[in-house]
Structures are given as C-alpha cells and as structure tokens.
Structure 1
Amino acid sequence: MRVTDATERLRPKSVRAKIVALLMLPIVSLMALWGFAAVTTASNIGGTERVKDVNAELLAPVDEFITALQTERTAATRHAATRDTDGLDALKAAVRTSDTAATAFRDGADAATADAELLDSGLPARIDRLEADARGLTALRARTDVKDAPQTAFTAYSTVIEHAFAVTGALTGENGTNAASEARVVLELARAREAVAQEQALLAAGSGAGKLTTDQYSLFVGAVATQRELLKPAVADLKSAHRAAYDTVLRSASYAGLAAGEDRVRGAGPNTFLSTGFLRDWDQGADLVLKGLAEAESGAGTGATAKANPFGWGTLGASGIAVILGLVGLLLSLLVSVGVGRGLIVELLDLRNDALEVAGRRLPRAMRRLHAGQGVDIDAEAPMRRLVGDELAQVGTALTAVQRAALKAASERAELLSGISGVYVSLARRSQVLLHRQLDLLHQLEQRPRDPAEVQELYQIDYLATRMRRHSESLLILSGIAPGRGWRDPIPLADVLRAAVAEIEQPGRVQIWPLPRVSLNGGAVADVIHLLSELVENAASFSPPSAHVRLRAARLRDGLLIEIEDSGFGMNEEALAEANRKIQSEDVDLLDAKQIGLFVVNRIAARQGLRVELRSSPSGGATAAVLIRENLIRDDMPVHDATLADGQVADGQDGGQNGGGDGGRALAPAAALIPQQQG
C-alpha cells in the first residue's frame, strides 16, 4: 500500500510536470536520434554500393549508348541528305560504335534484371522497351533509303534516345552519392547535350539541300530553346568541383561559335540557303562542344559515383559515433521514462480521439443538417463541460466550446440566408409581374405603324426590360425556385439560341454559326435560355465593343455541346479555376456579391444536369462550353410555328451567322419565344 501511495505521489499531475519529466531524460528524441543514425549509417553503406553497381551495370552503359546513338543520328541524317562516300564511311563507323554500346547495355540490363524492379516499379518496362529498340536498330537504319529519309532518320533515332533517357530518369533516384552532383541536375544537363546533338542532326539533314525545311527549322528552334533553358541554370546547381568543367565549355570559343550559329539559323528562317562552309564550321564546333559536355557530364555524375568509397568518412561521418553514444543513452533513459510516457500517451490518445470524433463526424453531420434547412440542438450536439481536471481536460473543454461556437455561427448564417432567400423571392415575383405587363405593352406598341427611329428606341427599351426580367428570374433561381416561363413542346435549337442572344444588350455582336437540327425538351428550354444568356452577356461584356462573340453548337455522342467564345483579354489560370469552382461547387454562397451570374449558372446546371466549363480560347479570349444531356434533346424535331415570335425564321437554320446585317435586330427583343406562363 505504501509503494502504491508513493508511486501516485511521484506521478506528475499536469502537462507541464509531465513534459519536464520527459525532458529530464528525452527518451523519444534519443530513440529517434539513435534510430536515424543507425539506419542512416547502414543505408549509406548499402546505398553507396548499390549506386556503384547501378552505375556500372546500367547507367554508364545507357549513357554510352545515348552518346553513340546521337553520333549515329547525325551521321545517318547527313548521309541521307547528301548520299556521298565520306558520309557513308562516317555512318558505318558510327553504326559499329552504336552496336558495341548496345551490346554493353544489354549485358548490363541482364545483370541488373533482379534489382530493376526494386529500384523503380516502372524500370523493367522501360528497360525492355529500350532493349527492343536496340534490337531494332537494323530495321531503323533501313529506313534511311526511303523518301524523306533525313526527317525519318531524325525522328526514329530521337525516339530511341528518348526511351534511353526514360531509363536514365528512373535511375536518378539511385544515382546519388556525396561525391556526385544531384542526379536530376546531371539528367537536365544530359538533355541539354541531347538538344545540341539534335541541332547538329537537323543541320546535317539540311546539308544536302543547303537549307532547312519548315519542319526541320521548327525542330531546330525548339532544340535551341531547350538547350539554352536547361544548360546554364543546371550548371549553376552543380557542385563547385564539377561546375568548373562546364564553365570551361561555356566560356570556350566553340560554344560561342555554336551560339552564334544558332542565332544565325534562327534569324534566317526556314527554306533559307545556308552555305557549305558555315555548316562545316558549325558542325566542327558542335563536335567540340558535345565532347566537352560529355566529359563534364561524366565527371559530375557517373565518374564521381564510381570513385565513391562506401566505408569512407563521407559515407559514415558522425552517424557512426551517434549510433554508439545513442545506444548507451537509450538504455539508460528507457528504464526511467517508460512509466511517465505511457500515462501521457494514453491521455493524449483519448483527447485526440475526442477531437477527431468532433472534427470528422459530429461537427460535419450537424453542418449538413443546417445546410439542409434542419434545426440543430446545440446543447444536445455539444454539451458544455465544466473546467475540471488537468490541462488536457481543459483542452477538451475548449474544443467543446469551439464546436458550440461553430454550430451557433452556422445556425445564425443559415437563418440569415433563409431570410435573404425569402426577400429574393418576394422582390422577384413583384418585379416579374410588372415586367411582364411592360413587355406586353411594348410588344403592342411595336406592332403599330411608327417611324423606324421610334421603333428602334422601343426595341432598346424592350431589350432593357428583357434583361430586367432575366435578373428577376436570377433572384428566383438563386433562391432555389424555378422561373415562371415554361414550354410544353420541344423547341428548335436555333430558336433557343436566338432567344438567349435577344436577352443581352447588344445582340448584334453575337454570331451564331450553322447549327445541327435538334430540339430541346420544353421543360429545359427556359433554364437553357437563361444560362446561355448569362454566358453570352458575360462574353460580350469582357470583349472589345467592336468584337464579335461566336456561338457554336455540335452534336456529340453524349449530348449537345454549345460553345460561347469571346475575343477579350482572356483569364489567367487562377481566375479560370476560381470561376469553374463557383460554377461546379455544390454549395452556393449567396453572401458573395462577386460574379452572381456564375452562381446562377451553377444553380441552373445543377437543376438540369448540365455540364458547364470555362477555358482559355485559342484566339486569346475565353470559351464557355455547355454540354446538354442526351435526354434533354431530340434530333430532327419539326418546328412548332405556335412557339415562334413574329418575324422569326421557322426552320431553325439560318444558314449563316446571326448578329450582323440587319442592325442587330435578329429577333423581336421582348421575347424570342412566347412561353406558357406558369404562375
């Protein structure tokens, strides 16, 4: 009994006392230190050995194979372009070198087959593909005898080289030692060297005609851009011991001549004659640059790795000493700290489980009920606890208080949104009654004989009233209520698009391209018109006043695709992502006053099952794509004349573009379609 009482008295009661007890003999930190030192020491030794094996068996042969293929590619393209004896001799020599390198690679791949999948799960497939390429070199070389042989040879060899780089890329994770530079940096430098080799091969392909074709010129410019983008920045990331070799190449006259020649070819453009002397001098300089880059690359990567000592101080370092000292301290600390640590862990786990229960289940469940319009009893969901016990118990009480505050705020916000929604509905209903009466009156005035100028002014007022009606309907839509307009019969797509265009301020700026002969079900017409008018108006607002908005439609297997493309300044990726989030989000924040039209589109798309997405346009603006489901459309539906307004085209096809040629009056402005009012 006395022992139990003494243990209870010695046991810390507060978090601070427990932390002090743990800091006296920091068992956890010491275990982590010792474990890290032990694992690091063992892994460094084994890792260095494995890296050396990988370097010798796979990486070095692959690098040599890449270099040989680059040389053969240049020789093959030059011979295919010129067909001379010297080119044939150079090609034969390059072929022999490539065959030797391919044999060395296959031998290394066979030796490393057992470890390949351990290094990278995708490595065996990449090695198999490269081995297949190596076996198919004979067939690849035969292609140089066909038409367009230079371009064919360049593409074929480049594909094999890219497959080799794929193997090298999978090995970079295992190609790191203290002696070598960062493997990914060396890989970037290898790709920069490949870009120079591609430039050389492309100029060799154009040596026969003395000029580059358009395709060859484009590839050349791309290779120059890649080389300049990768080479110097990657050199800056190398270790200082390896950077000197690259700096020597970059400061050499050969590289300066190479860069000057690149600028000359880029400035000359495609199909411009290049002298034989220039091509010969540039090719000689490129050979020197490639040789220097290859030697520097070997010193920074494979050469440094091969010299690494797995048992040297650079591998073991201070971690070996830490292993011994950490083991002694660990054994001493373990005996004292187990009892204190166990009690603290139990209490912390209980607190963590309570917090996870609140954050992961109880609070989200209550929030979902509030969003659904159901009431929540805060006292039942999060009963308030008294501040008793130690600091951990007080933390639990504080978490409960936070939960209650969150529930209270969400409940008040839900009540506010409900009130706002009711105000929206009331205002929208009243405005709709007045606007329908105004539109009927304007329609009657437009039918009377008047001066054309007066009629045009009436049309302008009509447009404004139509837009006001759409804004009133937007309030209803945001409140979760369907607008009053509706149709019973299917409506041709052309009439639907004209009706959407008629509800914007400047319909003459909209061009409607030829449309497929389809119709929309009457129940979806009002929502589709409203959604398209919001998107068309947005496109017109963010385009120059003189620019057109293009409206296209295409029949797809899954439905009907409608695209609205503007000619504005476009949107950056962040703005596009934010706009698409508002369009596709399940929760609509009515208190967000920015871009209300996107929330209207969100509600309509959710109700009708439409898919809406904003994306960049090739012309520099933005494109809104709307996919209408298959069950909302019908093919080749006859047009119902009763649904058409006065003066509309009855066949749903205008054979051209809408929005120009008649002063912008493609439709009667008050309504392109006359719906059956519903309430």
Structure 2
Amino acid sequence: MRVPRTPARLRPRSVRAKIVSLLMLPIVSLMALWGFAAVTTASSIGDLERAKSVNSELLTPVGDFVTALQAERTATLAYVAAPASRSLTALETARSTTDKAASVLLDGVNASSSDAELLNAGLPSRLERLQSDAGGLTALRSEVGVKGAAPSAAYTKYSAIIEHGFSVTGALTGDETTDATSEARVVLELSRAREAVARERALLAAGGGTGTLSGSQYALFVGAVATQRELLEPAVADLKAEHRAAYNTVLKGDGYARLVAVEDQVRDAGPGASAVSADSLKGWDGAVSGVLAGLTKAEAGAGTAAAAKANPFGWDTLGASGVAVVLGLVGVLLSLLVSVLVGRGLIVELLDLRNSALEVAGRRLPQAMRRLHAGQGVDIDAEAPMRRLVGDELAQVGTALTAVQRAALKAASERAELLSGISGVYVSLARRSQVLLHRQLDLLATMEQRQRDQGELQDLYRVDYLATRMRRHSESLLILSGIAPGRGWRTPIALADVLRAAVAEIENATRVQIWAVPRVSVAGGSVADVIHLLAELVENAAAFSPPSTQVQLKAARLRDGVLIEVEDSGFGMNEDAMAEANRKIQAQRVDLLDAKQIGLFVVNRLAERQGLRVELRPTPSGGVTAAVLIPESLLRDDMPVHDRAVGDGGQGHGRSLAPASALIPRQRFSDG
C-alpha cells in the first residue's frame, strides 16, 4: 500500500518546526478531548441553571396556581350545592389564595428569562391560554360561583383551566429532568393522579351539599377513581428510590386507606343519597386533605423542588464529568510543561549537534586539511578529542561525528605523509638524474664538436634531443615536489629564443611552426619556467595531433602582457574533458597520486609560481588551442644582443636539426 506524501509546502523544514509539530499533535488531541469534556460539563451546568430558572419562574407558579384552582373548585362546588356562611368563607379564602397564585404566575411569565419557543414549540400558545384563564377568573366566578348555578358547569370550567395548567407543565417538564429529579413523565403522571383525587374531593363536596350524587356526578367520580388508581401506584414504582419513599409514606398512611375505603363505598353504592350521606363521608375531608397535601409535598420533592435545590457545581451535578474536566486541565497543563521542557532540550541538543557538525565540516576539518597539505603537522587529539560513548542517542551521534572527523584527519595525515615521502623520492631521483643528464649533455657537446661525419652528427643531435627531454622530465619531478629546478638565467632572454628553446625540447620539433614574435624579452628568473611550460604544451599538442599536421606557435603583444597560443589540428576535446583539463591547470592544489596528465599539473605549478594565466579552448578547425598570457611584469622591452642571432627575423621553422643546447646562448646559462 502506497502512503500519500505530504505536500512540500506543508512539510515543516527546520528541526524546531518538526519537533514542535510532533509534540503539539498529542497536546492538541488532549486539549480537544478536554474541551469536549468541559463543554459537556458546562452544558450540564447550563441545563440545570435553565431548569432552576424555568422552575422558579414558570413551573412552581403554574403548580401553585393549579393547586389553588383545585381547592377553589372544591370550595365553589360545595358552596353552589349548599350555600352557607361557612362554605362562603371557605370559598372566599380559596379565591384569595387563587388570586395570589394567579398574580405570581403572571409575574413569572412576564419576567421569565427563558425563550418559551426554544423550550417547546407549543409552549407560547399554551402560556397565552393559561394567562387568559388567569385573567378571566373574575368572569368565571360570576358565572359559576353563585347561588343557583349548576355544579356541573363549575366543575367543567375549573377542570378545563386545570388541564390548561397541566399542558403548560407538560411542555416545561420535557426539558427539566436532571440528575436530582425523577423522570418528568412520571412526575406528570403523579400530578394527574393528584388531580384525580382533587376531582373526587370536588365531586363529593358537591354531592355532600345536596346529599345525593347525580348520575353524571357518579360517573365522573368513578372515572376519577379509576384514573387515580391507574396512575398513582404504577407511577410511584417508576420513581427514583429516594423519591419513592415520600409517596410510599402517603400510600401506606391511614388517610389514604380511608380515601380508598370511601372510594370503594361510593362506587359500590352507586348514585343516590346513601352514597354521600354524612355517616358515609365521616373523616373524608381530613383524609383527602392529608392525602393531597402529602402528594403535593412528595411531588415537589421528586420534581420541581429537587431541581430548585440542586447545586449546579455540586458532586451530583458535575460528578465524573467535573473530575474529568479538572484532571483533563491538569493533564493539558502538565503535557504543555513537559512538552516545552523536553522539546526545548531536544531542540537545543539537535541545534548544538548541527552547529558542531557544520563547524567541523565548514571550518575545522578544512583548516586541518589545508595545514596537512601545506606540510604542517596536525595534533588529532587536540583537533578532535575522542569522547566516551555515553549518554543518549544524540550524544552517541556526536561521538560518531568526532570519530569520523578523527578518521578523516588520520587518513589525510597518512596521505600527506605518503605524499611527502613520494615528493622526497621524486626529489632524490630527479637530483640524481639531473647530475647524470648534465654529464651526458656535456659529453654529447664534446662529441658533437669532434664529429665531422654528418650521419653520425645527426645521430648525436637526436641523442641530444632525447637527453634534453629527459632533463625536462627530471625537472618536472622537482617542480611537482615544490622545488625550483637548478637551471636559470641572470639576464633577460629574447622571447623568440625562449620559443625556439621550448620547441627544441620536444622530439618532433620539425612539426612546429613559429610565427612572428614581438621584440620583447623575458626576465631571466622566469625564462626556465616559461620554457618548461611552453615545452609541455607544445609536446602535448604534437602528441595529440596527426603526424602530418603542424603545430602553430603564435605570440602577440597585448596591453597587459604577451599572449602565446599553441594551436594544433588534432581531434579536439569534448566539453567535459576540456573543463577537467582546465580545472587541473587552474587548481590550487595538485594531487601527486593522480598519474593521469602529469604534464597539466606541471603547467599548474609553473603558472602559479610565475603568475601566468593558462587556458585550453577549442579552435575553429576542431583542434585545441593552449593560450598562455605572460604578464607585463615579466617582460622587458629592451631587446638583448646575443652571439647567435635569429637569422630569419624571428621566424624559426625548425627545418634544420641542431642540438637543443645550441638554441640558447650558453654564456648566460647557469646551473645554479
């Protein structure tokens, strides 16, 4: 499977950026998890705060209003059925209580900070209807709460308002459940069970006033009993254990037992006077009042009151989520602290390692190499002290770098010693060869003077040429070893003689054509090196061109010196080969172990010593031209007069074979 690569522009480049990215990824993930836990916990706190607000501003006022209406309904039915001063007093008291509850309800609705539509889409219309009901209580009372009014009308209209209150409660309790409350649906069912008991009380109050229960009243009573028994005990079983106890106390009390007994008695008796006689209803009012009070108190503990008392920042609300938020925050802070400390330390170590490596590669190792190439000794232990292999991986990398540096210095030192030894061998062999060659050249000069046979003389000339070339090769060994050759001149030499002498030191001198030469001289101290350099270039041109072609040797005076060009008609060089040859000619250091094209290294040393500029470039005919610029500082305009003049006016074509030693005035030659 091929893993897709990150785009280059998104990839961190520096070590610092890479480490920060690596360390920040788990921290960001941890912060995201902590943020989720914090948001969840804050949401729980917000829900509880909203539930408390809804409870204090809406739920409690609605519940109190419904309870007051239930009491007023009972008092109204009792007064309508049997008008008396006692029942009128009870009715006025109930109405006063209802008015206070209605006032609190209206104030709560008007002051509510919760958006009703966000709580429930149907809540605004239900609240408006309940507000209208609360505002129309006066009209309702004048209609159904007077002598002679029909009890059924009062029962129906009060029950309708109470149902409107339950509809508001149902819309509110859908968002009210918290850890401190039981399920809102169960609490609402218990509220309806309490309403059923209140209806039973109202119906019996109406019947008790007249001493009879009509058929419709009996049916309503039986229906209320059925509703109460279907909802109460099953709903209690669904409550939380801590809320169930209050209901069980009511259900197991004497008041509820008396309530059940009266319910059964009235239901079994059917409609008629006997069902609601004074004897049969004995103890009913006290029992039902106690049961309703107990149910109201238990309902408040299971629902609205519990939510109002709940602490948003308490253990019951926060619980494990609060602990997770706190521990998560501590974990995030610790992770940030550890990441900063570890990352910073790692970055510092890596940067120190990088700086050390750059220091070694860019300054210390090259300086040590230059000293070694210059023949100076290097203390490896002082340059790269060896560390013990201890510490972490980065320390081991530093130790490995030091080991590499020591190995490089050791190899360079051994190579420098080897080169020094080779150079010493070169010098020793060259010195010995020079002594023998000088003796050989002197012997050849003596033999040439005695010989009169032209054939023998030509052979001696050829031997003279070979000996001269051998002397030049011997001098090349000294030059590569950094030692100046022994021969030299004290006075300036004409440039024409210098060119002729350079041509005389190659085997195929007859193939070289010298063109017009400027009438200038070369400083005596530079003559030997210029002759040697030109001889190397001319010999190279003759060796790499066909035997039937000629090598052109031209000289021209320029503003800053004399330009000498050695042009051949060979097969030329490709760009890479020519660039490599020019690199060897112009390099600052010479590798004595490179056995290829030693003549270019000799040219390099001679050009550097005399300040000459040498360059190879292609010729239009396909060959190679070697250009040598002799600077003005090495030239003299006064033309010296020698015993041997250049007979052709400076154009020597090399057509007659003469010994090489005869082409330079010997009276000014010194073996220094």
When normalised by structure 1's length, the TM-score is 0.49
Q: Over alpha carbons, which structure has the higher Rg?
A: 2
Q: TM-score, normalised by structure 2?
A: 0.49
